[in-house]
Structure 1
Amino acid sequence: MSNQSTLSTPLKLRSGLTLKNRLCKSAMNEAIATGEGRVVRQFEVLYRTWAEGGAGLLVTGNVMVDKRHANEPLAVAVEDEKDALLLQLWANAAKSKGAQIWAQLSHPGKQSPKFLNSAPVAPSAIPLASDMFVPPRELTETEIEDIIQRFTTTASVLKTAGFDGVQLHGAHGYLISQFLSPNHNKRTDKWGGSLENRMRFVTEVYKSIRAKVGKKFAIGIKLNSSDFQKGGFTNEESIEVCKTLDKLGIDMIEISGGSWENPVNRKGNLKESTKQREAYFLEFSEQLKKNVSAPIMVTGGFRSQRAMEEAVESGATDIVGLARPFAIDPDLANKILKGQGYLSTVKPISTGIKKIDDMAIMEISWYTDQIRRMSEGKDPKTKVRGLISVADVLFNFWRRGQQVKRVRA
């Protein structure tokens, strides 16, 4: 292993921006906004911490384009310039050590919990298989056009605030993913039916944002390789969507997979080849790279410096995305780039309580709590402490819900 990691190689994007290295802190919900979705100073503290950690790109957690439709409590919503100064502080902190910051733009569609949203919307009025969500109402064409404009407005506000780019969240069962899926999109107008029609929403979002922000502002997308559901969005369709976005000029494609209904990257049922290479979606990334010229980022599963370097050196991916490892070790990029043979301590969390483990509460919320600690200027905890950690997580989840309820009462 060399003293200087191959991951330290810069990467120039189509926008003309250059990532200083091949490591990205990928999106994780911060859950530190106000109950109304307003930005707070803790974002500045948190992203300065991550900036000092050495990654070339920092992608924020979900930034909602419509505060009425949130994916979880205390998610940020940016609809206008009310929080312009706090957004500038956030962006400046993230860029203080030479990293770029991209905001992940999101609309959850019907994947918005009923304690947050009693009137969710979706491409078609097809409910999710859970009583956590209210059955959605089908969007009108006028409402679809309004949501496209909301994505555009949010991107423009963020550009003005100093963000370097945005990433469209087209994975994990959110609205863009719902439009792409034949299981969730049963429309018979120009927004549904054929793949060309089902991808119209995401291409119109991209084109509208690009027309507003220009070519020097980065636009990427996080897209499912597949939703891993019978009759759903397939590998072949994902490649076709990526080819279309590539021709339109997308700056980066991050590969993911699954949805709330089938969270494949949290189940741990991995093929032996995946275990060896660590990352979940490298095989698909290799297929995709034969079809597009935009840089590819793979997130999910990377734990060792060896596997990260091999993935980039082999050409399987251009950028390594890391999420949970950054929640417990914000300095990990510096450690990797020094060639120290880094190995993350992140492992699946099992509490022994079947209902909690089946819902993957600890796999999400425990790491969210470590992010909150960093936003308060504290060090993250690195180990789960049995039932004490379970109690802490459940209390903080309840507390976040109460903050939202007080605002909406």
Structure 2
Amino acid sequence: MTAVTEPAVTEPLTLPCGVTVKNRLLKGAMSEALGRRDHAPRPELPALYRRWAEGGTGILLTGNVMVDARALGEPGNVVLEDERHLAEFHAWAVQGSRNGAALWMQLNHPGKQAPRGLNAGGTVAPSAVPYPGGMARAFETPRALTVSEIHDLTARFARSARLAQRAGFGGVQLHAAHGYLMSQFLSPRHNVRRDEYGGSLENRMRFVLETFRAVRAAVGPHFPVSVKLNSSDFVRGGFSEEDSLAVVAALGEQGCDLIEISGGTYEKPMMLGSRERGGFFADFAGRARAAAGVPLCVTGGFRDAATIRQALASGAADVVGLARPLVTDPQFSARVLRGEDVSSEVRPLRTGVALLDGTGYLEIAWYEDAMRRLARGEQVRASEAPLLALARIAAETGLGAVLKRRRA
């Protein structure tokens, strides 16, 4: 019997839709918060993604692009819901597709995970379940969606995907992780509906699967459609690993082109974890890859070339996702692909101020500031003071926007 050889990081990957990506590295989504007041992409986005495209990564995922201007997840979100700003999106697509990179747009709706007071009409969710404890101060109690509103949201995702395709993006990803709307539907903790969209896991995954099928119909069979999914919510009564494996299998049956595994929500922000080395979700990803029958990506915690190569060689994943290392070094992927024994300088951020060090926002603000600087052609060092980044973001966006940011 011939031994199965696991892929090298430089090996191309052909997706189920027939599109081939040039290597096994993916730039994971990070919130850039670079939308204008009218929610169009700011010019910094094409400049930022040009730097990442020139760095050699095979797939570049954008930060979340919202499908409804009435439902922002944070100040500075980009929204794609109609044709008004296709020229700006096209400019972003052109620059992000340089050097053979595949630029994919991540599509999202926050559900109730939107800071209190950000959206004038309040928030919606599968059920009118408030966040527990201190999070209730940051996020208001949502209104439960009607069935017709759920169908409208499915249509919105499909329309945004088609617009992304027209603008020149190479694929789309549906964000069903990290506690946003799709993740809320999947979680029995947040979805207590008693109709066809709640109760059993089959019902709780209905919105995700219906939306995937609608997006596929909108973009056709030869355009990559990916889904980002939690391995688990890591909270009692939430979306479990067993649930996740079942959803992975269902997405595989639907012909999903790439399933990206992450984990956690802003109740339990495992995706902002403090571990400095090692794939956070690689152990689960190996089981998910077997269940999926389609390509699988694992993102979170990869900080050095050896760990990346091990994840591929072990069969844990077909693709490895990188995020923060590409901020501190836009050429990180190129160095891995050249065979260098590169290790990222990314580390947990600390200010010595307990109230700041205990929040996910400090990390978010530091990287948002760093991405703005990358877009201006500057270099970013992982050792730079977090408080300076926080001050720059506050000066640029205003204190009100800072206070409306997501925080754990």
| Alignment TM class, shorter chain as reference | over 0.9
Correspondence 1:248 to 2:254 = yes
What's the TM-score once normalised by structure 2's chain length? 0.93
Q: Report Cα offsets for 1:294-323 as digits up to 9, x if no partner.
A: 111111100110110011011111111011
Once residues 31 and 350 of structure 2 are traced to their aligned partners in structure 1, the CA distance between those partners, rounded to angstroms, is 21
| Structure 1 residues 135 and 305: CA distance shift in structure 2, 3 A | same
| Letter in structure 2 aligned against 1:44 | P
How big is each residue's C-alpha offset from its partner over 1:16-65, in whole Å with a ceiling of 9 and x where there is no partner?
Answer: 11110111111001111112311222211111111001100000000000
Q: Is the 8 A contact 2:349 2:386 kept in 1?
A: no
Residue 113 (structure 2) aligned to one of 108, 111, 114: 111
The residue number in structure 1 matching 2:64 is 62
On the 8 A contact 2:57/2:333 being kept in 1, the answer is yes
Q: What are the residue-to-residue correspondences of 1:360-375 with 2, within 5 Å?
A: 360-375=360-375
Counterpart of 2:39? 37
Tell me what 1:259 maps to.
265
Identity of aligned residues (%): 44
Runs of 5+ in structure 1 lacking a partner?
A: 405-409
Greater Cα offset, 150-159 or 257-266: 257-266
Greater mean alpha carbon deviation, residues 388-397 or residues 52-61: 388-397
| 2:173 paired with 1:173 | no
User: Which residue of 1 is the match for residue 4 of structure 2?
Assistant: none
Once the two structures are overlaid, the 10-residue window that deviates more, 182-191 or 32-41, is 32-41
Partner of 1:195: 201
Distance 2:393 2:86 in 1: 32
Alignment gaps of 5+ in structure 2: 1-6
Query: Cα 1:400–1:153, aligned 2, differ >3 Å: closer, same or farther?
Result: farther
Q: Deviations over 1:167-209 (max 9, x none)?
A: 1100000000000000100000101011110000000100111
1:123 paired residue number: 126
Distance in 2, matches of 1:53 and 1:399, equals 34
Equivalent of 1:155 in 142, 152, 161: 161
Are the aligned partners of 2:269 and 2:360 in contact in 1 as well (CA < 8 Å)? no
Structure 1: which amino acid aligns with 2:173? Q
How far is the alpha carbon of 1:381 from its aligned partner?
A: 3.9
Residue 109 to residue 397, structure 1, CA distance change in 2 (3 Å): same
**In the alignment, is residue 28 of structure 1 matched against residue 38 of structure 2?**
no
Describe the SS at the equivalent of 1:6.
Answer: coil
* Matches of 2:95 and 2:155, distance apart in 1: 28
CA distance in 2, matches of 1:208, 1:387: 44
- Mark the CA change 1:213 to 1:192 in structure 2 (over 3 Å): closer, same or farther: same
The answer to whether structure 1 residue 229 and structure 2 residue 226 are counterparts is no
2:394 touches 2:401 (CA, 8 Å); kept in 1?
Answer: no
| Superposed displacement of residue 398, structure 1 | 3.3
Q: Which amino acid aligns with 2:109?
A: H
Q: Which whole-Å CA distance do the structure 2 matches of 1:403 and 1:387 have between them?
A: 15
Matched, 1:296 2:302: no
Q: In 2 relative to 1, CA 349–121 (structure 1 residues): closer, same or farther, beyond 3 Å? A: same
1:43-122 pair list within 5 angstroms: 43-118=45-120, 119-122=122-125
Looking at structure 1, the residues matched to 352 and 395 of structure 2 have their Cα atoms a distance apart, in angstroms, of 18
Task: Determine helix, strand or coil for the equivalent of 1:203.
Answer: helix
RMSD (Å) for aligned C-alpha atoms: 1.9
User: Is the counterpart of residue 280 in structure 1 residue 280 in structure 2?
Assistant: yes
Aligned residues: 395
Asked if 1 retains the 8 angstrom alpha-carbon contact of 2:366 and 2:386, the reply is no
With over 3 angstroms needed to count, the CA separation of the structure-2 counterparts of 1:387 and 1:106, relative to structure 1, is closer
